[in-house]
Chain A
C-alpha cells in the first residue's frame, strides 16, 4: 500500500474551546487508486488531505506515505519530501502571479533540483501539453480562464513525478463542464499509476473514481 493512516487524531485549540477535526482515522490507499474524500463543509476533508501532504501535523497517530513516516519530520524536511513525493492542487489554483505558466511548472523542479536544468523547460512544456494548455505556456496566469489555470496547477503538481496527487476541492471554482474535464484528467493520471486523492463536494463523481471515503465530524463513515 502507498498511503497508510493509523489512529489519526487532530485537535485545534480555538478561543471557543478545543475543536476535534479528525478522530481515530485508519485508512490505506493503494498505488494508482483514484479516491474521493467526500463530506460536508467542515467535516474534516481538507484536514485529512493536509495530513497526507505534510501540510498540517496530527495531534496523535501516524502518517506513512510510500513507506516514509512523515509525522516526525521538520518543516524543512517536509518541504523537501513534499516537493518530490506529493503534488498539490487547490481550489483557487494558487499560481504565482508574476511567473508565466511554464515558469510556474518549472518552479518545483528548480526547488527540488529533480531534473537537469536544461531539460526542465522541455518537461514543463510536455506536461502542459498533457493537460491541454501548451499554447498558453508563455502567458501570465491572470490571462487564463479558471479551467486553464487549474490545468496549469495540475501540470505543476506533476512536475517532479510525485507518486501522489492531493487535490482539495479542485473543481469547486469551476463550471460543471470544466469540472468534468478536470476530473477526467485526474482519471487518466490515476490510470497511469499516480495515486490521486481528492476532497470534493461533487456528488456526481462515481463514474470516474475508484473509491469514495465519506467523512463526517472528523470520522470515516464509510
Chain B
C-alpha cells in the first residue's frame, strides 16, 4: 500500500465518529436503492414466471354456449395452440353468521384437463364434485370459511343453495381477493346447474401458436377465431386481449417500486450533502497538510486523489453495510408485494447485475458529492495553504446578515452567541437545512396527502346519501320493492333506480384508441349486474344509472354545468372519469349513446366530480320508463338507514333479503357504503404508511447531517470554547450554547419546511393520485403535520447536538487553547 493510501485509511479512522455518521446516511440511501432494485429483479422474474407458468390466455372471446365441436374447430386452426371454454358468473356467498359477500364463480368443465389460464391446487380436494366449491386461497378470509365448511351461494336466477367447500386453489391471474373484497370460487358445470343457472360455457379462451408475446399476431389469430365462431352461428359479444405475458398487476407493481426507487435515490442524494460537509471541513482543517504535501512534491491530482480516496472509503463502507440490509429489505418488500399480488416466490436469488449496479451507484455517489470540495480544496497554492492559520474563511461581520444578527439584542448573551454561531458557515448551514427540511417536507406532505385523500373520499361518499345499494339483476316493480323495504325495520328512505350499460357512439374517424388493458384497481364497477350489453359490446362500455327524478339519495358534486333536474328526460351528467375518457364531448353538446340495441341522443348538462371512480353516466329514470316500458320498475335499489353501524346494516340486510324473497324478488348483491369505502381506505393506508416511512428515513438522514454539522462546528471552534471557559463559562453554559445552536438550525429547517409543505404536498398528492387512481385530490392541509413536525424537528435537533455539545463541554481550557 502506498503512503497516500495509508493516510486515507488513518484519516478515515481518525475521523471515525463523523465518518460513521456519514457512512450511516449513505448506507440508508444505498439500502433503499438496493432493496428496490433487488425486489424489482426478483419480482419481475417471479411474477412473470409464475404468471407465464399458468399459460395465460392470449385472448378471451365472449360468445354464447360453446360445445365440443366448436372447440375442436377452433383448436384445429393452425394459429391456435389450445382452446378452452369457461364461464364467469357473479353471485353471492355467505358462510355461517358472516354477511353476504360478492362471489365470482369460475366454471370449468374438466378440472383434469385445464391447459389455458391454469389454476393450482392448494390443499383439500381436487377436482370439486357436484355441490362442491373450491375457494381461491386469498378469498378464504373474505368468505370467512375453511375447507370442510358449508357455504350458502345464490345466483341471479337461482335459489339459495348450500355448497361444501372442499378445497383451495391458487389463481395467479386474479387480483388479491382481500383487497377487492370479493370471493373467487371454482365449480363444475353440474354444480352450476344445481345453482339454477343454464349449464353452458360462453368464454372461449385461446392460446396462440408462435409468438405468444406479439400483440398483433394474437389480434389476427383472435380475429380468425371470431370468424370461425360467427360462421357457425355464434354471436361474439367481444374479444379481450390482455397485455401479452404480463401479469395484470405488473404495471401497478412497477409503479410502486419506481416510487420507492426514486425515494432511495433522494436519500442517496441527501447523504451526498453530508459527504460535501464532511470533506469540506476535512480539507479546511488539513489545509496546512495540503500545503505541506504540495511543498514536498505532491501534485494537485495526487492530493485530490487522497481526499477522493476518503470519499471512496465512505462509499465502500456504506455499500458493505447497506447491501445485506438492502437484501433483507428486498425480501420483506417481495413478501409483502407477493401477498398483495397473490403469487408465490420460489427464489430470492438476486442477479449479479443488481450487485454491480448497487456497488457502482454506492461508490459513485460520495465521489460525485466530494468532487467539488476536493477540487476546490486541492487547488490552493502552497503559499496560501501555509499562510493559513487554521480554519477561517471570512471574518464574521463582513456581510449584511452578520450585521443584522449583530443588531439582534435583548436575548441573553449565550443565546445570541449560539444563534450567530449557526450562521458562520453559510454553505454548511444551507446544506444541513436542506437535508433537515426535506425530511420535514415529506412528513408534512405525508399527513397532508393523507388528509387530502380522506377529504376526497369524504366528498365522494358525501354525494351518496344512501347506506346500502342492492343489485337485483333484473327489473322488478318498485312498489313491490318498497313493500319489502317498509317491512324491514331501520330504513329511512329508499329509491329504485335503473342500471344499464352504454357506449358512446362516435364517428369512425374520431374513435379513440381502445386502452390495452383498462384493468384498474377498481375497474369492476359494472360487475355483477345490469343488462347484458348490445351486440357491439366493447371495452368502451360504462355503467349508466337512471336515477329517480328529484332524487334525495344522490347529491352530485357538480364541477361544470348543472345537476339533473326532476323534469329532465334526455339530460346526461358525466362523472370525471367519463368526461376524461371522452374529451371531445363538452357540456351543452349532444352525444349519441348506445344502450342495448338502440342508439339515442343525450344532452350533456354537467360533469360531476368523482375521484377514484370508474366512468359512470347519470340520467333520469324517466327515459327508460318511456323508451322501454319499464314504468315503475327498477333493477337496483338505494336505501338510507337510520343506523349505519355494521351490525345494524347486517341485520337490515338479512331482514330485507327475507322480505324481498317474500315478494318474489331475488337480490343479486348488496353492498354497503362502508364496504366500498373499506377498499379505498386500504389503498390510502398503503400510500400513507409509505410516505411516513419515507419521511422518517429522510428525517434520520437529516438528523445525521445535523449531527455531523454540529460535530464539525464544535471541532473547529475548540479554541473559542477554551476562551469561553477561560472567561468563566461553566460546562453547562458551553453545552447549552452548542445545543441552542442545533435547536436554532432545527427551528430554521422547520420554518422552511412548513412554508414549502403546502404547495409541495398538493403536487405530490395529485401525482400519487394520478399514478395510482388516475384521479385528483381535494387538497386539505393538515395542521397536525405542522405541530408534530415542529416538536419532532426540535427533538431531532436536540438529539443530534447532544453528543457534540457534551464533547464541547469537556474541553479543558489548556487543551482547547493549545489545539491547532
Contacts and interface: CB of A to CB of B under 8 A. Distances in A.
Given A96-B289, A107-B4, A82 B383 contact: no
Given A55-B386, A80-B299, A94-B288, A111 B7 contact: no
B292 interface: yes
Contacts of B6: 99, 103
B720 to A, nearest CB: 21
A107 B10 contact: no
B392 interface: no
A79 B292 contact: no
B70 interface: no
Contacts of B292: 90, 94, 96
Contacts of A96: 7, 289, 292-293
Contacts of B382: 55, 79
A88 interface: yes
A82 B292 CA distance: 12
Given A76-B300, A103-B6, 8 more contacts: A56-B383, A79-B297, A83-B296, A96-B289, A98-B14, A107-B4, A110-B2, A160-B297
A50 interface: yes
Given A98-B14, A103-B3, A79 B386 contact: no
B141 interface: no
Interface of A: 50, 53, 55-56, 75-76, 79-80, 82-84, 87-88, 90, 94, 96-99, 103, 106-108, 110-112, 117, 156-157, 159-160
Nearest to A76: B299
Given A79-B300, A96-B7, A103-B3, A111 B383 contact: no
Contacts of B294: 75, 79, 82
Query: Which has the most chain A C-beta neighbours within 10 Å: B10, B294, B295, B383?
Result: B295
Nearest to A50: B383
B568 interface: no
B300 A98 contact: no
B730 interface: no
Sorted nearest first, the 9 A-B pairs with minimum C-beta distance are A83-B297, A98-B10, A108-B296, A94-B292, A56-B383, A111-B297, A55-B382, A111-B298, A110-B3
Contacts of A111: 4, 293, 296-299, 302
Contacts of B297: 79-80, 82-84, 108, 111-112, 160
Chain A binding surface, main DSSP class? helix
A57 B156 CA distance: 98
B650 interface: no
Nearest to A105: B3
A97 to B, nearest CB: 8
B288 A79 contact: no
Interface in B1-40: 2-4, 6-7, 10-11, 14
Most chain B CB within 10 A, of A83, A98, A106, A108, is at A98
Interface string B283-307: 0000011011111111111100000
A92 to B, nearest CB: 8
Nearest to B288: A94
Interface string B367-399: 000000000000001110010000000000000
Contact of A82 (B11, B14, B296): B296
A112 B297 CA distance: 6
B132 to A, nearest CB: 77
Nearest to B301: A76
A68 to B, nearest CB: 15
B296 A110 contact: no
B2 A88 contact: no
A74 to B, nearest CB: 10
Contacts of B10: 98-99
B283 to A, nearest CB: 14
Interface in B345-383: 381-383
A55 B295 contact: yes
B313 to A, nearest CB: 13
Nearest to B298: A111
A110 B8 CA distance: 14
Most buried by A among B293, B297, B381: B297
A83 B381 CA distance: 15
Contacts of B288: 94
A112 B3 CA distance: 12
Contacts of B299: 76, 79-80, 111
B295 A88 contact: yes
A100 B2 CA distance: 13
A117 B2 contact: yes
A110 B297 CA distance: 9
